[in-house]
């Protein structure tokens, strides 16, 4: 399928063709719209390409050296300070291969302190599936749709904390994958109080934080209270915000020195640390220091796409869509009594769209799909017209 360049102003500012390894793969199996794999179709910002080109021209393809690791950590700390009002001590930040590996190590840390993992439903599968691999029980708490957004069910979370009979770890995904919800400061403060009350731990996956829309703000969980910083492990990355997931460089942020010791002692810790790519560090540092308009243009495009998606629910009456507040994921279902041939997934597949089935994210998600709308508006309009 040939895709025409977008005529949308935000995409023109990017000055990039519509390119995606996921799209090429999905076209090979006959789909017109690659809306499943969690990567955007907006290429990469020019400063990142320039810095990677310099590294390649210099034949710098060896192991990651300490000076580059340190400067990448400093760039992350600087970005968090400028964009999230989080004054992070660089000593609290470590480099890891990716958030998925970080989740594994975080669960190994939690195993020393907690007996159960409480996560919200729906949720990115690796956040829920990893618990059992280290011997922790896993409990899902439904994410609530309220007032046109998804919110945390704090009453149910407290109930599960009480039932667990001992310290538990709560897994927070903010901005949320797959709904695109962005937690408010007050929600996070209330969650922090709950965790304090029951002597728990929080693993906060914040890898989509750089893609929050204009009317929202990303609040790092560790910033809402002193105790939140002390009982949390934050996973962060430039991978989603700057479209560099394949280069393998993410960050773990642990203000509590005791938890940092537990992290370094965890069985998988050395593996995920050694898995950091040198080019990943180059691209990550470049991303955090990038002062170009690239990310702002992407956010503008995504926000317009989110608005268009939210309208298909109200205009057609056939889909349930809560408008995302950040990132490029939407959680979409069919309204009414839906038989297996009329689920959201069946409808998307009928028009040639590859999407992630909802059952991967929730036991109650059989009628839903996760849609990646990180594509030029012209392409999304084609998809919505087909639907």
Reported as a single tens digit per residue, the pLDDT across 73-97 is: 999 999 999 999 999 999 999 999 9
User: What residue segments make up the domains of the chain, in order of their start?
Assistant: 9-45+293-386, 52-289
pTM score = 0.91
φ, ψ at 311 (rounded to 5°): -75, -20
The model's confidence at residue 2, banded by pLDDT at 50, 70 and 90, is very low
Which fold would CATH assign to domain 9-45+293-386?
A: 3.90.1150
113 secondary structure, DSSP code:
T
φ, ψ at 185 (rounded to 5°): -60, -40
Instruction: Specify the pairing of strand 329-334 against strand 353-354.
Output: unpaired
Sign of the dihedral through C-alpha 10, 16, 22, 27? positive
Give the separation between CA 182 and CA 175, rounded to whole angstroms.
Answer: 5
Cβ(102)–Cβ(250) below 8 Å: yes
Residues 6+ apart with CB under 8 A from 369: 331, 332, 333, 343, 344, 345, 348, 355, 356, 357, 358
The model's confidence at residue 164, banded by pLDDT at 50, 70 and 90, is confident
235 secondary structure, DSSP code:
E
Reported as a single tens digit per residue, the pLDDT across 264-287 is: 999 999 999 999 999 999 999 999
CATH class (in words) of the domain with range 52-289: alpha beta
């Amino acid at each position: 399928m040939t895709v025409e360049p977008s005529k949308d102003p935000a995409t023109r500012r990017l000055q990039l063709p519509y390119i995606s390894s996921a799209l090429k793969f999905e076209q090979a199996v006959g789909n017109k719209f690659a809306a499943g794999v969690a990567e955007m179709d907006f290429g990469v910002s020019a400063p990142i390409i320039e810095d990677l080109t310099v590294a390649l021209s210099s034949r710098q393809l060896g192991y990651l050296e300490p000076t580059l690791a340190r400067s990448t950590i400093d760039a992350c700390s600087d970005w968090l300070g400028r964009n999230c009002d989080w004054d992070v001590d660089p000593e609290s930040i470590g480099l890891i291969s990716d958030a998925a590996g970080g989740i594994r190590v975080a669960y190994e840390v939690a195993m020393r302190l907690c007996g159960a993992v409480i996560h919200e439903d729906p949720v990115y599968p690796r956040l829920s599936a990893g618990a059992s691999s280290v011997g922790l029980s896993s409990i899902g708490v439904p994410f609530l749709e309220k007032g046109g957004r998804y919110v945390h069910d704090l009453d149910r979370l407290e109930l599960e904390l009480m039932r667990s009979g001992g310290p538990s770890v709560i897994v927070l995904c903010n901005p949320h994958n797959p709904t695109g919800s962005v937690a408010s400061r007050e929600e996070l403060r209330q969650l922090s109080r709950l965790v304090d009350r029951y002597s728990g731990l929080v693993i906060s996956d914040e890898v989509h934080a750089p893609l929050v829309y204009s009317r929202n703000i990303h609040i790092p969980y560790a910033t809402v209270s002193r105790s939140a910083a002390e009982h949390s492990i934050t996973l962060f990355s430039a991978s989603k915000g700057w479209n560099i997931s394949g280069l393998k460089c993410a960050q773990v942020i642990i203000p509590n020195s005791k938890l940092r010791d537990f992290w370094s002692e965890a069985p998988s810790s050395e593996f995920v640390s050694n898995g950091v790519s040198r080019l990943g560090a180059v691209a990550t540092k470049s991303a955090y220091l990038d002062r170009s308009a690239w990310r702002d243009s992407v956010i503008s495009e995504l926000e317009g796409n989110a608005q268009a998606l939210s309208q298909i629910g109200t205009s057609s009456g056939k889909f349930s869509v809560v408008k995302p507040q950040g990132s490029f994921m939407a959680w979409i279902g069919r309204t009414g009594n839906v038989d297996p041939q009329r689920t959201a997934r069946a409808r998307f597949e009928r028009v040639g769209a590859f999407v992630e089935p909802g059952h991967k994210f929730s036991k109650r998600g059989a009628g839903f799909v996760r849609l990646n709308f990180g594509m030029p508006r012209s392409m999304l309009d084609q998809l919505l017209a087909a639907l």
